[in-house]
Amino acid sequence: MRVEHIAFNVSDPNGMARWYCEHLGFSIKRKVMEAPWAHFLIDEHGSFMIEIYGNTSQPVFDYPQIAPATMHMAFVSNNLIEDRERLLKAGATAVTDGIEDLPGGDAMTFVRDPWGITLQLVSRATPMLD
């Protein structure tokens, strides 16, 4: 078995899907243009999907109140400073100040997307994925 996708019930699935495509390199694999406005977004490598939808009969997490270490999506970045600044200019908010260097040579930073979901930008000394 392998992971196909992780899903997020959000208040603005159309806007969030658009933002993720414009600023995080996703593309729409499948979408439903009526409630619950499901969007299956695939990453630029075609190896991972997220589903964003707005099911009003179910609760939406208070994403900004979830601690970054409790839940986040991690994105490999080739330039943490540039990617962080680019996302902040696009409406993300800073969670941490600047870039944190980790033991072993990795580095990371956290931002929240405009809907409050934490995004970790990470640069690995030794890549963990092909």
Angstrom distance (rounded) from CA 122 to CA 105: 11
Q: Is the dihedral of CA 74, 48, 87, 118 positive or negative?
A: negative
Provide the whole-model pTM: 0.94
Report the pLDDT value the prediction gives residue 2, as an integer from 0 to 100: 86
- 59 within some domain: no
Burial 79-109 (b: 16+ CB within 10 A, else e): ebeebbeebeeeebeebeeeeeeeeeeebbb
Report the pLDDT value the prediction gives residue 128, as an integer from 0 to 100: 87
Q: What letter represents residue 21's amino acid?
A: C
Average confidence (pLDDT) per 10 residues, the chain, 130 residues: 94 97 98 96 94 96 96 96 98 96 95 98 90
Report the pLDDT value the prediction gives residue 23, as an integer from 0 to 100: 98
- 17 within some domain: yes
Indicate which CATH number applies to the domain containing 39.
3.10.180.10
Report the pLDDT value the prediction gives residue 129, as an integer from 0 to 100: 80
Count of domains observed in the chain: 2
Domain membership of residue 42 as a residue range: 5-53
User: By C-alpha distance, which of 73, 35, 34, 31 is closest to 51?
Assistant: 31
Answer for the pair 24, 18: CB distance below 8 angstroms, yes or no: no
User: By C-alpha distance, which of 96, 52, 50 is closest to 73?
Assistant: 50
Dihedral pair phi/psi, residue 20, rounded to 5°: -65, -35
- 130 within some domain: no
Report the pLDDT value the prediction gives residue 4, as an integer from 0 to 100: 92
